[in-house]
Amino acid sequence: MYKLSRVLLLLALTSLLVVGASAQEGGILIGTNFGGDPTTINPLLTNNTVDLSLTEFLFPNIYNIDPVTRAPMGGGRNDQDNGLALDWTLSDDGMVYTFTLRDDVTWNDGSPVTAHDYAFTFEALASGETSSPRGSVLQSVESVEAVDDTTLVVNLKLASCRALDELNDFGILPKHHIEPLIGGDFAEIDNLEFNKHPDVTSGVFNFGALVADEQTSMIRNDNHWMPVSPEGYILRNVPDQLVGIEQFLAGEVNSVGTAGSASVPAVRMQEFRERAEAGEFQIYEYVDDGLTFVGFNLADRSNPLDGLDEDGNPVDQGKHQFFGDIRVRQALAQAVSYVDIIEGAAEGEAVQVNSFGTPALWGYDPDIEPWEYNPDAALALLAEAGFVDHDDDSSTPLVATEDALYAEPGTEFAFELLTNSGNLVREAAGTVIQDQLGQIGIAVDFQTIEFGPLVTFLLGQDFDAIMIGFTNLAQDTDARNVFTPVGDTVGGGFNFVSYRNDRVTELYNEALSLPGCDLSERQALYHEISQILHDDVPWWWLFAPFSMYAESNAVQNWMPYAETRYANMANLAINP
Amino acid sequence: MIKYIARRLIQAIPTFFGITLLTYLLLWLAPGSVVERLYLAPNIKAETRARLAAQLGIDDPFHIQYLRWLAGDDWLRWDSDGDGIADQAFTPLVPLDEDGDGEPEPPGDNYGILRGDFGRSFVKKQPVMDVILTNLPATLELGIAAVVTSLVIGIPVGVLSAVTRGRSFDNNSRVLAVIFDAMPNFWLGYILLYVFGRLLDIVPIGGRCTANLFGECPILFERINYLILPTVVFAAGFVALFSRYVRTSTLEVLSQDYIRTARAKGLSPQVVNFRHAMRNAMIPVATLLGPIITNVWAGAIIIESVFSWPGVGRIAFTSAIQQDFPVVMGIVIFASLGTILGFLLSDILYVLIDPRIRID
């Protein structure tokens, strides 16, 4: 018995050693990247999820994002910790942020990461000489000062509750390395070899190699304060999603998609659930932070004008003959079955949204009742708006009577609905809309066109209705650029539907400049905005898709969150 | 012969410029831009997009953009005193201060295609030549493998079909040739990847090298398993093409008097078919080499995407989608030159193979 106990003890110790050794060795994490090569690995210049999938593991940020709440998070070390800020304060007048940074973070060449690095990065951005698209921070931030290595003072132009969000919109560059390379000319940042092969970094990985159209790799940074287990992380460049999924199922890669993208298509989700249930691999599902909608052009399409003149005064943009009338928009919102769109077009892998945003955003109000399919109510509203079935033939379009606000009497109710070709879900949803509106006498000329022309029509405000999607919505719910006249600029603004509601503008401004930026108080304001947007229907609120991560069983201790595939890289172990 | 080649090359110059002008015009006419492709988001202001467009020069009129690509812009706006600030401009085309902010725009630093400067990729921010040359070896590797495979298989199949005319080998090979010629190569690619990569697990599912931390790619011999499927798919259509041409040509040759004479002299069928008949039957193959080079470029766009093969076809596809003009134009130049030289090569081979033809 004694001998048996000793043998068992020995076996237990051996197995512990084996497990320990396996976790130490870590293996190599291999993901698939459907988005092409990174355009840059410079955290100031990044502009897509592929770039960000790399820079998030290579460069520090000013603070961390809580993977559960998606809120800014200061404080101590944790698994996904790349943030410098231990804490921060906001002055009583809401105009000055003061950050206290950690003093124990170093670049991989041994130099300390300091407040001067952040100030340098901001200075480069503010110069306007780089091709950085991350300029939104300049709307609210006047200047950034590094008081000493660990104290950063941010002076705002205006009290803005988005400022904190915007300050974290870019990773931090190593000043001591970049400054000598550019010789004081920030425009040179665009041309650095560093952008493709960043040699001085401060993340859990060091940069490995970029092989064009083939793979990008990162190698474990053993000098990081929280050394991770995987020896490295490789993103294989696979242009065809179908092929990438087969590579995953064949065990050639560990994940479908990059760290920053889910990438299991809706048509395969049920199959993946069943396979995961059978133990073939692991999955994690969540509601995406993007939504699909139809934007109604509320202004006169034949003469697109900015919403404000040079002095900031409202401009008369005319009215769209159909969608200028709120009753018509509300009628349409009740004229189509959302069940048919979600179950039929989106394969059931989506949830109906009630207003701007998705259930993934903190400003979203889940208590607002979404629009429901009620064709009788829709017809009654259309009749009230002056559109009637003049010949008792439902196969012919309704026509406008003298009661119509903006359409000439006798005008048939027919409009053009555009979406981008190649998106099968939107193409199917458009067909459902075309069919069901046709049943109540609205003729929809549904067209799928290439994305480039679609954007030109959209931003040029030259359309009747466009079905499109917003993805990666900001953590903050502020959407002034989308629903107030500030964003209503022909050719570039995102209020391309020319929506204007003074109460909404007022609420957005109030939520943005709320003293103290209390989240619950701001949430209440955004809920009020959401209710108005729901009722006004400037967009036809459709759905937010489900997203699914898939990870092979070789990846142990996997702990994903919505929008964060690897929240605990430090503890991941990859079985070779 | 040299005079002929020189004349053909000179004749190709207007064709070449016509191609570049037409391609640039088509790209320019396409709605949208690389800036809208890459930077379309509510949190990116319209002013930012306008600034980025100005940096890339894509907000200039067509003739300025094309001229800059063709002849560079160092003569449009330049710095005469060496202080790094432009102080002279070719004002009939561009002003010194274009945006009216009181400051001159930066001096031009592009030399243009006529002086060997292909420009820089809007997206990759690298010289276009570097972008293309990085991926060119992969395309050449695949293209050469496909052409050699198709010649090695297609020619004997064509000859054997001809000498066994009407028999089962001939009938089966002709049916297969029609099938493989008509079959979309992306579809064949998916099927082969699924069967041999996924179900049988005997070849990798796409790629050119095994993923590794240092981005190293061993010599071809050590990674031949990655090359097999894309070569088979690429070569399938070419085999069909070659075998049909060679069969028709061989049938024609086999009915010639000198073949009957050779047979009458008692030569073996192998010698008659493969030594006497095949050389003359090769003439149509030579004429196909020009179009084949064009087909390699075109086919690479699809096949490289399906098989995750890091070649020029992949760049062509993504650059066209992203409206990365300089890269698309660089690839068009390579493709145009390849096509022009391919057809020239066909003509030269024609002369070498067929002694009846003389170039004047």
Residues 464-523 of A with CB under 8 A from B: 470, 472, 474, 479, 481-482, 487, 489, 491-494
Nearest-by-Cβ selection for A209 from B40, B43, B214: B214
Query: Quick check: B36 and A459 CB within 8 A?
Result: yes
Query: Quick check: B204 and A48 CB within 8 A?
Result: no
Residues of chain B contacting residue A39, judged by C-beta atoms under 8 Å apart: 38, 123-125
Q: Describe the strand order of the beta sheet including A141-148 as a list of residue ranges.
A: A85-90, A96-101, A151-156, A141-148
Residues B201-253: tens digit of each pLDDT? 999 999 999 999 999 999 988 899 999 999 999 999 899 989 998 899 989 98
Residues of chain B contacting residue A197, judged by C-beta atoms under 8 Å apart: none
Phi, then psi, of A291 in degrees rounded to 5? -135, 155
CB A402 within 8 A of CB A386: yes
Residues A478-517: tens digit of each pLDDT? 888 899 998 898 887 889 999 999 999 999 999 988 888 8
> What pLDDT band is residue B135 in, cutting at 50, 70 and 90?
very high
Q: What's the rounded mean pLDDT across residues B264-290?
A: 82
* Direct distance between the N- and C-terminal alpha carbons of chain A, in angstroms, rounded to an integer: 37
pLDDT score of A7: 44
Q: Which of A36-50, A137-151, A266-280, B204-218 has the lowest mean pLDDT?
A: A36-50
Residues of chain A contacting residue B42, judged by C-beta atoms under 8 Å apart: 470, 474, 479, 481-482, 487, 494
DSSP character at residue B67: H
pLDDT score of B41: 67
Rounded to an integer, what distance in angstroms lies between the CA atom of residue B288 and that of residue B342? 9
pLDDT score of A74: 80
Residue A35, pLDDT > 70, answer yes
Element containing residue A217 per DSSP (H, E): strand A215-220
Rounded to an integer, what distance in angstroms lies between the CA atom of residue A226 and that of residue A247? 31
pLDDT score of A473: 66
Q: In the numeric block, which tokens belong to residue A366?
A: 């889940």
Which residues make beta-bridge pairs with A216?
Answer: A210, A235
- In whole angstroms, what separates CA A29 from the centre of its chain? 24
Q: Which of A14-28, A182-196, A253-267 has the lowest mean pLDDT?
A: A14-28
Rounded to an integer, what distance in angstroms lies between the CA atom of residue A196 and that of residue A212? 10
Q: A238 touching B, CB under 8 A?
A: yes
Indicate the burial class of B37 (C-beta count within 10 angstroms; 0-12, 13-18, 19 or more). middle
Residue B354, pLDDT > 60, answer yes
* Mutation for B interface: A125, A182, A211, most B CBs within 10 A: A211
> What pLDDT band is residue A2 in, cutting at 50, 70 and 90?
very low
Q: In the numeric block, which tokens belong to residue A286?
A: 């969540």
- What is the rounded average pLDDT for all residues in chain A? 88
What are the E-state strand segments in A410-554? 414-420, 443-449, 465-470, 539-552
Give every CB contact of residue B100 below 8 A, 6+ residues apart in sequence.
none
Rounded to an integer, what distance in angstroms lies between the CA atom of residue A225 and that of residue A106? 9
pLDDT score of A474: 57
Residue A21, pLDDT > 50, answer no
DSSP states of A362-406: TT--TTSPPP---HHHHHHHHHHTTEE-TTS-TTSPPEE-TT-SS
> What pLDDT band is residue A385 in, cutting at 50, 70 and 90?
very high
- In whole angstroms, what separates CA A415 from the centre of its chain? 30
Residues of chain B contacting residue A211, judged by C-beta atoms under 8 Å apart: 209, 215, 217, 310
- What is the rounded average pLDDT for all residues in chain B? 87
Q: What 3-state class would DSSP assign to A506?
A: helix
Q: What's the rounded mean pLDDT across residues A397-405?
A: 94
* Direct distance between the N- and C-terminal alpha carbons of chain B, in angstroms, rounded to an integer: 8
Q: What percent of chain B has pLDDT over 70?
A: 98
Q: What percent of chain A has pLDDT over 90?
A: 61
Helices and strands: H and E segment counts in chain A: 15, 21
Q: What's the rounded mean pLDDT across residues A11-24?
A: 39
Q: Is the ipTM of this complex over 0.90?
A: no
Q: What's the rounded mean pLDDT across residues B30-39?
A: 77
Rounded to an integer, what distance in angstroms lies between the CA atom of residue A112 and that of residue A106? 4
CB A451 within 8 A of CB B32: yes
> What pLDDT band is residue B292 in, cutting at 50, 70 and 90?
confident
Task: Locate the chain B residue with the closest alpha carbon to A496.
Answer: B42
In the chain, the amino acid numbered A257 is G
pLDDT score of B181: 86
Q: Which of A515-529, B80-94, B166-180, B232-246 has the lowest mean pLDDT?
A: B80-94
Query: Quick check: A135 and B44 CB within 8 A?
Result: yes
Residues A414-427: tens digit of each pLDDT? 999 999 887 888 99
Rounded to an integer, what distance in angstroms lies between the CA atom of residue A210 and that of residue B55? 26
Q: Which of A18-22, A220-224, B70-74 has the lowest mean pLDDT?
A: A18-22
Rounded to an integer, what distance in angstroms lies between the CA atom of residue A284 and that of residue A286? 7
Residue B83, pLDDT > 50, answer yes
Give every CB contact of residue A363 below 8 A, 6+ residues apart in sequence.
A357, A476, A477, A522, A523, A526, A527, A530
Rank A98-107, A562-571, B47-56 by mean pLDDT and report only the highest. Answer: A98-107
What pTM was estimated for this model as a whole?
0.84
Give every CB contact of residue B107 below 8 A, 6+ residues apart in sequence.
B74, B77, B78, B79, B84, B85, B86
Residue B43, pLDDT > 70, answer no
* Mutation for B interface: A125, A169, A215, most B CBs within 10 A: A215
* Mutation for B interface: A213, A447, A472, most B CBs within 10 A: A213
pLDDT score of B126: 87
Residues A133-181: tens digit of each pLDDT? 787 788 889 999 999 999 999 999 988 888 988 899 899 999 999 999 9
Q: Return the exposure string of A237-256: e unless at least 16 CB atoms fall within 10 Å of the residue's CB, then b.
A: bbbbbebbbbbbbbebbbbb
> What pLDDT band is residue A354 in, cutting at 50, 70 and 90?
very high
pLDDT score of B33: 80
pLDDT score of A573: 87
Residues A303-326: tens digit of each pLDDT? 999 999 989 899 999 999 999 999
Residues A228-238: tens digit of each pLDDT? 889 999 999 99
pLDDT score of A475: 62
| B49 against A189, higher pLDDT | A189
Q: Which of A88-102, A189-203, A281-295, A448-462 has the lowest mean pLDDT?
A: A448-462
Residue A13, pLDDT > 70, answer no
Q: Is B145 left (phi over 0), alpha (psi -120 to 50) or beta?
A: alpha
Residue A15, pLDDT > 60, answer no
In the chain, the amino acid numbered A291 is L
Query: Quick check: A214 and B215 CB within 8 A?
Result: yes
Task: Locate the chain B residue with the closest alpha carbon to A206.
Answer: B213
Residue A521, pLDDT > 60, answer yes
From the CB of residue B270, how many other CB atoms can be counted at a distance below 10 Å?
9
| A201 against B86, higher pLDDT | A201
